[in-house]
Amino acid sequence: MSAAAETALPRLSVQSLCITYIGKNGEKTEAVRDVSFDIADKPGVGEVVVFLGPSGCGKSTILKAVAGLLPPTKGSVLIDGKPVGEPGRDRGMVFQTYTSFGWLTVQENVEYGLKLQGVDPKERGVRAREVLKEVGLLDFASRLPKDLSGGMKQRVAIARTLVNKPRVVLMDEPFGALDPMTRWGMQGLLLDVSRVEDNTILFVTHDVSEAVYLADTCYVLSSRPARILHRVDIPSFAERDIHLKSSNEFRAIEKKLLDMLYAPQPAA
C-alpha cells in the first residue's frame, strides 16, 4: 500500500454512534449503541459493505444517520473527513419501497434530481440515458412507472441515485419485496454496478445468503440496540453467479455468519 493510501482520510468514518428515539409521550427507545467503523477510500474501486442483523435491530437507523436523515444522539459521521449534516448529493439512498413519481416517465424520474440542481436539459438527458443503459432500462425510458415490474421499478430507483454520482450509496433492504428470481437478478445488477462505479455501497439485509453474495465486508449486528458484534471480510470469489451459492465455500461462510447471529450475545 502506498504512503498516500495509508494517510488518506476514510471515505466514511462512523465513530461511537448512538441513537435514541424519543416517542411522543417522552418514552425513549435506544436503537444504536456505540457503533464505530471506517471504510477506506479506494479510488476507482467500488466496494459493497453489508450490515447483517435481525429485523428491527437498528440497521436502517445507521443508514439514516449516514444519509443525514437522522441526527446522532452521540458520536459522529464523517464523509471524506467532513461531518454529515443534512442529506447531500455525496450520498444517495435506495429504499425497499418504490419511490418513483408516477406521472413522470422513467427518464424524467432519473433526471429529476439533476433538474433540481439546475443541470442543463441536454446534459441531463445524456447522463440519464447513460445510467439507464447501465441498469438495463434504456428501452423503457419513455414508459411510466405503472408499466414496470417490481424489479424494474427498483432499477429506476437505483438509476435515480447513481445519476447524481454519489460517493456513498445507501441501500435499505432494496430487494426485500421481490420474488427470489428477480431478487437474484437485482443482486447481479448491483455487483455489476459496483464494478464500474467509484462509490461505496452500504447495504442492509437480514438475509445471510444475500450478505455473502454481495459483500466485500460484512458487519454482523446484535439485536436492538444495534452494536457491531463481528467484522467478516468475504473472500473475493472468482465468479459470483448462481452456481456459487451452492458451493462448499459459499455455504461455509453462510454457516459462519449464521453461527455468529445465533450465538449468545453479550448483555446490552
Mean pLDDT of 207-218: 94
Euclidean distance between the first and final Cα of the chain, in Å?
Answer: 38
pLDDT at 193 over 90: no
Q: Residue 256 class from Cβ within 10 Å (0-12 exposed, 13-18 middle, 19+ buried)?
A: middle
Three-state secondary structure readout of 32-51: EEEEEEEECCCCCCCEEEEE
Which H or E element spans position 121? helix 121-134
- Single-letter code of the amino acid located at 193: V
- For residue 73, pLDDT beyond 80: yes
pLDDT of 1 above 50: no
Q: Can you read off the three cell numbers belonging to residue 56?
A: 428491527
Task: Judge if the upstream peptide bond of residue 180 is cis by omega within 30 degrees of 0.
Answer: no
Cβ distance 157 to 95 under 8 Å? yes
pLDDT tier for residue 7 given thresholds of 50, 70 and 90: low
Model-level pTM greater than 0.75? yes
What are the tens digits of pLDDT across the range 8-18?
Answer: 789 999 999 99
* pLDDT of 4 above 60: no
- One-letter identity of residue 126: V
pLDDT number for residue 265: 74
Check residue 2 and give its pLDDT.
Answer: 47
Strand ranges (E), the chain: 12-22, 28-39, 47-52, 74-79, 82-83, 91-94, 168-172, 200-205, 217-221, 228-233
Residue 25 CA to residue 32 CA, distance in Å, equals: 20
- Residue 6 is predicted with a pLDDT of 52
Of 48-52, 198-202, 204-208, 248-252, the least confident: 198-202
Q: What is the pLDDT of residue 194?
A: 84
For residues 242-259, average pLDDT: 92
Closest-CA residue to 184 (of 163, 167, 205, 209) = 209
User: Residue 158 phi/psi, 5° resolution?
Assistant: -65, -40
Q: Tell me whether strands 47-52 and 74-79 are parallel, antiparallel or unpaired.
A: unpaired
> Whole-number mean pLDDT of the chain?
90
pLDDT at 228: 96
